Structure 1
């Protein structure tokens, strides 16, 4: 084989492997996001907990009574897990869409719109931002922040009809 052909072949094989790894990472990350919201909907925290790093934190951005933005204090996911696990008459259904995934080999962010329903009734909406880190070759959620709005919630029709 000519040197140029060997180099070209090596490049193509390397690029193919790179693309396969990116596709596998993308699928893994989106499976984590799906598991978290499926776990919340079914009150099955075992689906959720396994995807969180032990040092993960959560925050929310809401509004004060005067309309100014307010950042909630940092909280640990355990409080959320406990609330999800409690027996309740209603279904907590966070419906998400418009995913924007960015990642490299160690860090990922997933931004998405959401509408939170209690049973079939819309409670609030906003955006979620999940940050994940690849630790010991496994993607783990390290940070979640969301916004919460009760006004101007207009999820797409296909989300409303789920």
Structure 2
């Protein structure tokens, strides 16, 4: 069989690539893991406190957030916001926000880390949406900061955490 014919036959064949197994939650027992989680916890506390300054204190100014929304009508949108825009969303006002993450999976290597966790988001105590958070962190001068965050967002299939 010629090399050309063999290559043509391979083009029509695909080998399914198995998905990676889900990340396993890591207990927050060691100092490094706790240090990685500290800015994430502070970020979520800033959201709950409607405190934009607290949010901005734990992020790198040059980063931002991207979220992928699955709308009730089936359409999908991707939105990118600067940290200033994200923080402004949680300025003091009439609404009370609460985001709860569960079973965070934490990975780190040197001065980079990531936190991946399912979440639910409530407004004024009512479940509004859910998804998965992904925080991308860097350590500078011994301090972990959130460089970027991305999350999925949907209104169906949400557990009442």
Q: Return the TM-score normalized by structure 1.
A: 0.75
Specify the alignment match of 2:44 in structure 1: 37
Specify the alignment match of 1:75 in structure 2: 81
SS of the residue aligned with 1:142? strand
CA RMSD of aligned residues (A): 1.9
Residues in 2 aligned to 1:115 and 1:89: alpha-carbon distance in whole angstroms: 20
1:138 has 2:143 as partner? yes
Moved over 6 A (4+): none
Residues in 2 aligned to 1:32 and 1:55: alpha-carbon distance in whole angstroms: 16
Structure 2: where are the runs of 5+ without partners? 1-28
Structure 1: where are the runs of 5+ without partners? 1-21
Specify the alignment match of 1:19 in structure 2: none
* Deviation of the 1:70 alpha carbon: 3.1
The structure with the largest helix share of the pair is 1
Q: Return the TM-score normalized by structure 2.
A: 0.75
Q: Tell me the number of residue pairs that the alignment of Structure 1 and Structure 2 aligns.
A: 133
Q: Which has the higher mean CA deviation after the structures are superposed, 59-68 or 119-128? A: 59-68
